[in-house]
Chain A
Amino acid sequence: MTVYFLCVVLLTMGLYCLVAKKNIVKKVIGVVIMDYAVNLYLIIIGYKTGGTAPVVEPGMGERALERFVDPLPQALVLTSIVIGLGVLALMVSMCIRLYEKHGTFDMSQISKLRG
């Protein structure tokens, strides 16, 4: 249970960083922290203490099946990391372009649109 709690703490830290920081690079870091908190959450779902890799070999009994780690969340996390990488690349390139336009990373100086 503690790990789930710590995972949510990490998510909240990312959200705080995103909301409270004015520097857009720090906002990007906040988003990445949130992303990784969720990846961690997915891994914890499939985790089993003392588990083994889910590879079936001849001669394995029914007992062995119970010790397998759930492989599906790990496949999900791989996909999620790749998506996160794509989003991160886009975010960083937008930060660079914004810096070229304004000469600053400060969101309060960049912001002109009223939302």
Chain B
Amino acid sequence: MNLVPLFVAIPLGVAFLIPMIGIWWKKSGEVLSTLSMVALSVMALASIGAPAVVHHMGGWVAPKGIAVVADGLSVLLLVAVNVIGLLCIIFSLKYMKEYTGLPKYYALFMLMVAGMNGVVISGDLFNLFVFLEIASIASYALVAFGVEADELEAGFKYLILGSVASVMILFAVGTVYAVTGSLNMADVARTISLDWSGPEMNPALLLAAALFLMGFSLKAALVPFHAWLPDAHPSAPAPISAMLSGVVIKSLGVYAICRVFFNVFGFAATSPTSVIIANSMIGFSVLSIVVGGLAAVGQWDLKRLLAYSSIGQIGYVTLGLGVGARILATGESTALAALAIFGGLFHLVNHAAFKSLLFLSSGAIQTATGTRDMKLLGGIREKMPITATTTNLAALSIAGVPPFSGFWSKLLIIVAVVRAGHLGVAAVAIAMAFVTLVYYVKLQRNIIFGEVGRNVENAREVSAAMYVPLIVLAFVCVGFGILAVTQPAIGERMLGPARDVLLNGAEYVKLVLG
């Protein structure tokens, strides 16, 4: 029995059921979505380390039929999406009490999870586009869920820019189909590697690559395509901010970039296109690291600071992957490319953990104190010890203080960049790592420590449904940091298969087409 299609079927079915049952059973959203997220998380965790699975929908074998592929990279993202989704749902149970229309909230949440799971396991370019739209439409609606002036404006901006990204991606999908005559990713990859991997460049494919890169970068909020993120992430309810920053920009943006460029277009050493693509990935990453980091320093709104920080940290993830791609494209040492890609993926997982923890903490602080203005906060250590401790751990982790997880992943990325010979890029990455430290020290001083702020005086610790997800994520942050040093085998077991998928892009064709 093949369980992979259930990653889409369960959340999609639940999203359909909740609004229908919600009319006469008010608790349907809470109960059904928690149960299904528990089931999905268990399924995702159980598939770690399992061999790659290819499921041909309806028995139609690829490339004629539609394939669903769960290889190492997909499983890594499935685990991140579903586990963080479960924690955000648990957090929502209490946090969302102040909102109305809760069945709609849970239905949209499950729709978003269905879309992301679909993007991650899809083996077909057009299906990837459709699932990307499902996840995007749900997230536009969720950003505007508060229906106040700010939420609507942020949602509208996100919606307009997201639609432009979708148009670009659909244009690119059409162009790829016109050139290769197929939409199955493995089949397209085979055609490109046979016909177009030589020094001769196909201008249509180059156009498609540029459109894919722009479209997915917009979804991943890489600078200069980041304008929607600093508005959208702070305006959404806290669990949705945690999902957006933690997993949405990664599964719709970074994962899609990886899959399309490493596995479909391929970084063949002979093709001039691949160096161009890898260089633009590095360029966008460096811009994101600099702009995101510098803009975060000046913010006094807690969630806005975290949102800008997301732009910078996503830059580190794509820097690792981009440098790996460049090494593959120039045909230098594979071991070095493996190190860079491993660092990028490790930072992706770490960022999913600590950024969702920080956004959930910001929600807990907002519930307890009624504000997220850092000038009015301070000294929550005395009033809210659990939230303060978990926030502190996440801040230390993301700032790259050893021995927490963020330090090791940034170290791996920077070592790989230095050894690949990009000293200027490495210098920027190191300098901006210190800037990250600066704004998280600012966060620490103004929120956790310092004098008790005006709004904090009457604050009380939040209830268990809200702090349990915080504690779990804090354990993940600390655990990854310690395991990275003491037990490299566990890191290898989790991230190794995903790295190998990206490193040996051509293996994907063999896996799907046999």
On A, residues with C-beta under 8 Å from B are: 11, 15, 18, 24, 27, 31, 34-35, 37-38, 41-42, 45, 72-73, 76, 79-80, 83, 86-87, 90-91, 94-95, 97-98, 101-102, 110-115
Contacts and interface: CB of A to CB of B under 8 A. Distances in A.
A45 B153 contact: no
A108 to B, nearest CB: 12
Nearest to A34: B167
13 contacts: A11-B171, A24-B156, A34-B163, A34-B164, A38-B170, A41-B171, A73-B177, A76-B177, A83-B137, A90-B137, A91-B159, A91-B160, A94-B152
A70 to B, nearest CB: 9
**Which has the most chain B C-beta neighbours within 10 Å: A31, A72, A113?**
A113
B177 A97 contact: no
A42 B154 CA distance: 31
Contact of B141 (A83, A90, A113): A90
Contact of B170 (A80, A91, A94, A97): A80
Contacts of B163: 31, 34-35, 87, 91
A115 B230 contact: yes
Nearest to B232: A113
B147 interface: yes
Nearest to B230: A115
B140 interface: yes
Interface of B: 126, 130, 133, 137, 140-141, 144, 147-150, 152-157, 159-160, 163-164, 166-167, 170-171, 173-174, 177-178, 183, 227-228, 230-231, 235
**Which has the most chain B C-beta neighbours within 10 Å: A15, A37, A112?**
A112
Contacts of A97: 144, 147, 152
A114 B230 CA distance: 8
- Looking at chain A's contact residues, the main secondary structure is helix
A31 B140 CA distance: 15
A67 B336 CA distance: 52
A31 B177 CA distance: 23
Contacts of A98: 149, 152-153, 156
B178 A45 contact: yes
A103 to B, nearest CB: 11
B178 A113 contact: no
B169 to A, nearest CB: 10
B140 A45 contact: no
B167 A83 contact: no
A76 B126 contact: yes
B164 A73 contact: no
B231 A31 contact: no
A91 B140 CA distance: 10
Given A24-B156, A83-B137, 18 more contacts: A34-B167, A35-B167, A38-B171, A41-B171, A45-B177, A45-B178, A73-B174, A76-B173, A83-B133, A87-B159, A90-B137, A91-B163, A94-B144, A98-B156, A112-B153, A113-B150, A113-B230, A115-B230
B154 A113 contact: yes
A90 B145 CA distance: 12
A102 B149 CA distance: 8
A94 to B, nearest CB: 5
